Structure formats: C-alpha cells, structure tokens
Amino acid sequence: MSNLRLDKAPFDLDATLCCGQVFRWDKMGDWWYGVAGKSVLKVRQRGEELEFANTDEKFVRRYFGLDDNLRQISRAIGKDAHIRKALEEFWGLRIIRQEPLECLISYICATYKSIPAIKHMLNNLSRKFGEKVVFEETDFFGFPEPRRLARASLAELADCGLGYRAKYVLETSKRIFDDSFVLERLWQMPYEQAKLELCSLPGVGPKVADCVLLFGLGKFEAFPVDVWVKRVLLNHYVGQLTTEAVQRLSKTEGLSNTQYRLLSEFGRGYFGKFAGYAQEYLYHFERLYG
DNA sequence: TTCCAGGGAGTAT
DNA sequence: ATACTCCATGGA
C-alpha cells in the first residue's frame, strides 16, 4: 500500500473514472479496481491523499495524468460561464492515459452504444480473450492481446455482444497484429495526420479517431463530438456559432459528417490546444445535469 | 414494447 | 463532396 499527496495537483478520482472515458473500472466499497497492463490496480482517494496498491507512484502519476497542469489547462479553456461551471463542478477530473490498443478497440465497440452496454461488451471480450489475473481472491481479466483478437472468429466476437462491430474489431486487430498498422507511431505525428491514419482502419471514423487521439495518444486538441456534445453546443454555445451553422445543426437529429467537422473544428478553435479537456468536462456535465 | 445509444460504411445523388 | 439508410444488441 502506498500513498501520494495531491498537494499541488487537484484530482477527483470518482469524476475521472465515472465520466465515460474508461469502461473497465469498478468501485467496491471505497476502492476502485481496474486492470492496466497485466496487473490489477487498486486505488482510493481520501481528500488530498491518493492511496494505491499493486502499482507504483510513477505509473499512477502517468495513468491518471496527475502531471498535467490542470490550473493552466483550466485557465486556457475557461472561456465562458458554462465551461467554468463544469470545471468547478468536476474540479480535478483528468484525462486518463489509456493504453492505445484498448482505447482503440473500446471506442470501435462504443459506436452507437450506451455506456452500460459498452462496459458489458468489453468485459465479455476480456473474459473470453484476456489473461486472467487473480487479485485478492477475485478474478480479473487483462484486456486481450491483439494476437488473441486477430485469431478470434467472427462468431466468438459476436458472442461478446459486439453485433455488427465484430468484423471491425477483427479486421482492425489483424492490422495491428501483423504490424501493418503501428499505433505507437502516431505519438509523434501531428494531430491531423494521426487522425487521417486512424480513419483508415475499419470501424474508425472521425469520432472514434478523436477519442483514441485524446484518451490514448495524448492529443489534447482532439474534440470528439457525439449527440451529447452536439446538445451542449446547441444549448449553450449558439452565441459563439454562426447562425448558418446553427441552422445546419438543427436540421437533423443525428450527426452527419459535415456536422461533425463543423462542431469538432469549432471546439478546437474556441477552446484551443486543450479542447479535449473542455470536451470531457462539458460531456460529463451534460450527461449528469443536461 | 418502443426507443435510444460516446457512429461508420455503403450507396445514391 | 454531401445526404440517406442500414446496421446488431443491450439497457431504460
């Protein structure tokens, strides 16, 4: 068991793990349990103190983004009353550094699904194809290696509840496994180029790409847009959008490609290089109170 | 039962 | 380039 004092690093563990960026953490009592890499992490927060087990401080700092300068980020994105309200409400929410592959597969699965259903799918995938790790007499499962997913059958994947996403997960896993696509190479690419590369994968469009770039590859300017974010922007940012843009957005219920680019570029332009942080605060706020 | 979900691909214009 | 349609499934 180790402790970490959060003196100069505001952090809210609950908000960070509940805001829908990760899907495989569970709270038992006041402890959170999650699997990263091949080990089970156990974390709880008591005020300014973060307690953790089965991992080390270096990993915790990196995984939870504790070295991001949240005050500086907050000053950069705090452009208006609404975002400042969300920042205040969830102060200490941070963008987690997910493992890129888990992040990619997770958000391919997440398309057109609710969060409880996504959790269900990913837990099924991990139980079926991940490595079992026993911790505190409980079975946990690591996220599947690309090799296991690449060699799975469509039926096995479909059995996990993936539906029509099964073939996307399979084909993308094959491209990762045979090294024709190297996720790590995107780290040093600029945002736009990395996004273009990601969108060449089956099951990956602009939304999934932005999520992977933000949550897995440290591109904080990525501004993923879904129906919730569209809702936020139409409810609170009409003044900052052009009237022509608002008309185009109100025309249809869903989110066309054109609408996606419009909103994503607005977010990036308006909130700046930490737009992804703004997006996550706004998204969480809209889901809880919208 | 019906509706909706952290959208993407395929096809028609 | 842009718009329309279909998609499997679980949860509310």
Q: State whether A232 and A198 are in the same domain.
A: no
The Cα A290–Cα A278 span in angstroms is: 16
**Which nucleotide comes closest to A161 if you measure CA to C1'?**
C9
Q: Label residue A250 by pLDDT band (50, 70, 90).
A: confident
- The verdict on residue A78 lying in a domain is no
Whether the Cβ atoms of residue A190 and residue A166 lie closer than 8 Å to each other:
no
What is the spatial distance between Cα A233 and Cα A136, in angstroms, rounded to a whole number? 45
Q: Is the pTM of this model over 0.75?
A: yes
Show Cβ contacts of residue A157 under 8 Å, excluding neighbours closer than 6 positions: A125, A149, A166, A169, A170
Q: How many domains does chain A have?
A: 3
Q: How large is the average pLDDT for residues A215-238?
A: 96
Range of the domain at A25: 2-67
A87 belongs to a structural domain: no
Domain membership of residue A72 (yes or no) is no
Nucleotides of B under 7 A from a protein CB: 4-9
pLDDT score for A38: 80
Strand partners, A168: none
Section A205-228 average pLDDT = 97
* Protein CB footprint (7 Å) on chain C nucleotides: 2-5, 7-12
Q: Which residue is nearest to nucleotide C6 (CA to C1')?
A: A164
The span from the CA of A115 to the CA of A141, in Å, is: 19
Q: How confident is the model at residue A254 (pLDDT cuts 50, 70, 90)?
A: confident
- Is residue A75 included in any domain, yes or no? no
Helices H / strands E in chain A, number of each: 15, 7
Residue nearest to nucleotide C1 (CA to C1'): A258
Domain match, A123 and A210 both: yes
CA of residue A287 to C1' of nucleotide C12, angstroms: 15
CATH code of the domain covering residue A211: 1.10.340.30
Kindly report the average pLDDT of chain A as a whole number: 96
Q: Final residue of a domain: which of A67, A88, A108?
A: A67
Residues A108 and A195 in one domain: yes
CA of A212 to C1' of C2 (A): 26
Q: Which positions of A are catalytic? A: 207
Give, in Å, how far the C1' of B13 lies from the CA of A124: 41
Q: How far is the CA of A234 from the C1' of C4 (A)?
A: 23
Task: Decide which of A158, A186, A215 is a domain's last residue.
Answer: A215
A113 and A189 inside one domain:
yes
Q: Tell me, what's the pLDDT at A8? A: 86
pLDDT at position A93, please? 98
Cα–Cα distances (Å) from A202 to A170, A207, A218, in that order, read: 9, 13, 22
Q: A189 and A149 share a domain?
A: yes
Structure confidence by residue, pLDDT tens digits, A20-61: 999 999 999 999 999 997 899 999 999 999 999 999 999 999
pLDDT in tens, A72-110: 999 999 999 999 999 999 999 999 999 999 999 999 999
- CATH code of A40's domain: 3.30.310.260
Q: Which residues sit opposite A49 in a β-bridge?
A: A5, A46
Same domain, A144 and A191: yes
